Amino acid sequence: MSVAKTRVTIDFYALYERSLTKERVIAGLKAANRRGKRGGRPLAITGEKLDAILIALEGGMSKAAICRNFGVKRTTLIDTLNRLDKTEKITRNAAEGRLNK
């Protein structure tokens, strides 16, 4: 068998194995999702800490002061607030019968 044919054969099997791996990964992620598992890094601000931060924000405390008092990085605070804002918009739109707007 020539080198070119051998290379094509190896490339074919590599591509085939890659597609099988992709299917297995997707199936595993779907199964984990059905079991209620969430992948990725745990959220830094949750529960009581988040409630206290929201109360402090409503009370007029600056984001910088909140970061100092609660020991949270500024980018983490902003990302969490953006995530909450998106969640509220999705909930509001779903209640009004609109999605993805």
51 and 36 assigned to the same domain: no
Confidence check: pLDDT of 4 > 60: yes
3-state class of 46 per DSSP?
Answer: coil
14 and 53 assigned to the same domain: no
51 and 93 assigned to the same domain: yes
CA-closest candidate to residue 43, choices 72, 86, 63, 65? 72
89 and 56 assigned to the same domain: yes
CA-closest candidate to residue 100, choices 90, 87, 92? 90
pTM for this structure? Answer: 0.56
pLDDT digit string (tens) for 40-78?
888 888 889 999 999 999 999 999 999 999 999 999 999
Tokens of 101: 């707007």
24 and 54 assigned to the same domain: no
C-alpha 87/C-alpha 77 separation (Å) is: 15
The pLDDT, as a whole number, for residue 46 is 85
64 and 29 assigned to the same domain: no
71 and 35 assigned to the same domain: no
What's the number of domains the chain is made of? 2
Show the domain range for 12.
Answer: 1-40
Confidence check: pLDDT of 100 > 60: no
57 and 90 assigned to the same domain: yes
The pLDDT, as a whole number, for residue 98 is 63
Tokens of 63: 């984001």
